[in-house]
Amino acid sequence: MTSTTSTANKMTVPGLARMKAEQQPITMLTAYDASFARLVDASGVDCVLVGDSLGNVIQGLDNTLGVSVDHMVYHVAAVRRGLNRALLVADLPFLAYHDRASALASSGRLVQAGAEMVKLEGGAALAPQVTALVEQGIPVCAHLGLTPQHVHQLGGYRVQGREASVAERLKADAHALEDAGAGLLVLECVPAELAREVAAALRIPVIGIGAGAQVDGQVLVVYDVLGISPPPRPRFVKDFMADHGDIGTALAAYVEAVRTGAFPGAEHTYR
């Protein structure tokens, strides 16, 4: 935590666990620079994710695979300077955590830049890396379902878990990652009923993006919330800027919609 960060209302990993226990929806948005970080933080959001989605929205790449640890460190440091309350989560980029040593080295750099939790994509095979990180005091957010770093293996950006065998494997992966020490789980582009079952079965909070409303919280890319991202836009996206006159009001409207259950709606949900 930087010296400019107030501890009075600072969100923490245990704080997220308490929110799940108390059934308070968790809100998360991405940010990639200090200016947007200030706006997002002021909206009252609980977590800010410096996602490797910066490859798409900042660098103009077709996918996230070209994002490096150096890129992530740069953007994490910038976002850190703009935050006051929200918990800062940072993506570990492609091939930055293929074994324990690489996971520790990459995560150490992100934490030293200001991250308070790191996120990695993949299932039970990553349990050793998760445990190694947690043993060194680095909180971990897991990511299952549509995992963009596996886009070539998945054959594109497709809904995951509609087949019974894939759904069962996802459930097993979620339990394995929780048992390994993960403190948070993101589920992306999975059927709402599957997401509900996973959230109900886990002790840790489950954050959805295209995973329906019956999870513990929601995350969106900030540019999607503001209608900046070019079409075609995923089904789970809602442009909050369309009904509001300025960025701050639109971001606050997203936070309020998640907390009241107004977002996501059926039109944002996969079956």
pLDDT at 232: 86
Ranges in the chain, pLDDT < 50 = 1-6
pLDDT at 8: 64
pLDDT at 2: 41
Calculate what percentage of the chain has a pLDDT beyond 70.
97
Half-sphere exposure for 71 (CA within 13 Å, toward CB): 20
**What is residue 17's DSSP assignment?**
H
Answer yes or no: are the C-beta atoms of 227 and 239 closer than 8 Å.
yes
**Quick one: how far is CA 181 from the chain centroid?**
17
**Quick one: how far is CA 226 from the chain centroid?**
18
Tokens 């993960």 appear where? 182
Please report the domains of the chain, with CATH numbers, ordered by start residue. Answer: 13-268 (3.20.20.60)
Name the active-site residue from 121, 188, 197, 267. Answer: 188
What tokens appear for 150 in the block? 């596996």
Whole-angstrom CA distances from 96 to 126, 184, 244, 271 are 12, 19, 39, 33
Calculate what percentage of the chain has a pLDDT beyond 90.
94
Radius of gyration from C-alpha coordinates of the chain: 17
The residues with which 186 forms a beta bridge, in sequence order, are 143, 207
**Catalytic annotation present for 188:** yes
Average pLDDT, the chain: 96
